[in-house]
């Protein structure tokens, strides 16, 4: 099998591992930050929880603390 035929069978992550990894981390961090940023406005909606921004900000710290703990737990595996 020639080298060109081998490349045709490989996935994008096998051919270009670094750019695909950078794109994946960029998308992951973007999603994480957007969720963390919208928690206060989401919890402030009357149909959801109707919390004041000061009360809802406590849940943002729980979110980021949970993300931190999750990362530490993932590093142990």
- For 31-69, write each residue's pLDDT tens digit: 888 888 888 888 888 888 888 888 888 888 898 899 899
For residue 45, what is the DSSP state? S
Residue 10 is predicted with a pLDDT of 63
Nearest to 63 by CA among 28, 38, 45, 30: 38
From CA 29, how far away is CA 47, in angstroms rounded?
A: 28
Residue 21, pLDDT above cutoff 60: yes
pLDDT band at 11 (very low <50, low <70, confident <90, very high): low
CB 49 within 8 A of CB 43: yes
From CA 52, how far away is CA 41, in angstroms rounded?
A: 9
Helix (H) or strand (E) holding 21: helix 17-43
- pTM to 2 decimals? 0.60
**What backbone phi and psi angles, to 5 degrees, belong to 54?**
-65, -40
């Amino acid at each position: 099998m020639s080298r060109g035929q081998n490349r045709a069978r490989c996935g994008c992550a096998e051919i270009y591992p670094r750019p695909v990894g950078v794109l994946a981390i960029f998308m992951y961090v973007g999603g994480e930050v957007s969720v963390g940023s919208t928690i206060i406005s989401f919890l402030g909606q009357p149909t959801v929880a109707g919390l004041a921004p000061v009360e809802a900000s406590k849940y943002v710290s729980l979110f980021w603390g949970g993300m931190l703990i999750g990362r530490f737990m993932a590093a142990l595996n």
